[in-house]
A and B are shown apart, each in its own frame.
Chain A
Amino acid sequence: QLQLQESGPGLVKPSETLSLTCTVSGGSISSSSYYWGWIRQPPGKGLEWIGSIYYSGSTYYNPSLKSRVTISVDTSKNQFSLKLSSVTAADTAVYYCARLGNVAAVAGSYYYFDYWGQGTLVTVSS
């Protein structure tokens, strides 16, 4: 059974950089069929896609966060990571990592997040 686990500081000071790592177990991050993504959820609010990465290193970022986000992958450790710079209180959220399936077929194309980590609360405060 595939499992994902987020790790990193739960408290970050304003203007600093938030750094999280997602460790994948029970499967390979180098699978050609999947991307890997970060999603966040501010307290009491909805889900927001942050960005996705393919094992080759290709990245895709939410335009609203692109200037501050870097996602990277370490296939040797079966991990991928998130860095979000210049954080403010608005970046306080539960951060999830998840596996992103990508189907492109004549019958129809779609994305889906099928495995999620448990989420980690990151609070931005001095």
Chain B
Amino acid sequence: SSQLTQDPAVSVALGQTVSIACQGDTLRNYYASWYQQKPGQSPVLVIYGQNNRPSGIPDRFSGSSSGDTASLTITGAQAEDEADYYCNSRDNNDNHVVFGGGTKLTVL
């Protein structure tokens, strides 16, 4: 089955822009979706498809994709954006799901 690779940790200064990457062969064929998870809470969908935000997700969150890499960008990071972020996608070969290992975002 496919794998998705994420950097374990990323940091950003308050108010600055940060991108979190997710790399994998399946992303050449399928868009990624992105989830935010804060300690002790369930994951929350923040971006899905080409660049769709569920209701209630601030517009500072955006998604993009190029080749085998998908990116989640936070423009003007806020303290409350400090969390773990996970990407996921459909597997290349069947109706399976694959998750990235997660990126811990620290807002300085």
Contact = CB atoms under 8 A, between A and B. Distances in A.
Interface of A: 37, 39, 46-49, 52, 60, 62-63, 96, 100-101, 103, 107-114, 116-119
Given A47-B86, A108-B49, A119-B42, A113 B95 contact: no
Indicate the size class of the contact surface on chain B: 20 to 34
Nearest to B90: A111
Given A60-B95, A109-B29, A46 B101 contact: yes
A119 B39 CA distance: 13
Given A108-B49, A110-B31, A110-B89, A48 B42 contact: no
Q: Is the interface of A mostly helix, strand, loop or mixed?
A: strand
Nearest to B29: A109
A56 to B, nearest CB: 13
Given A46-B99, A52-B97, A62-B96, A112 B48 contact: yes
Contact of A110 (B30, B54, B100): B30
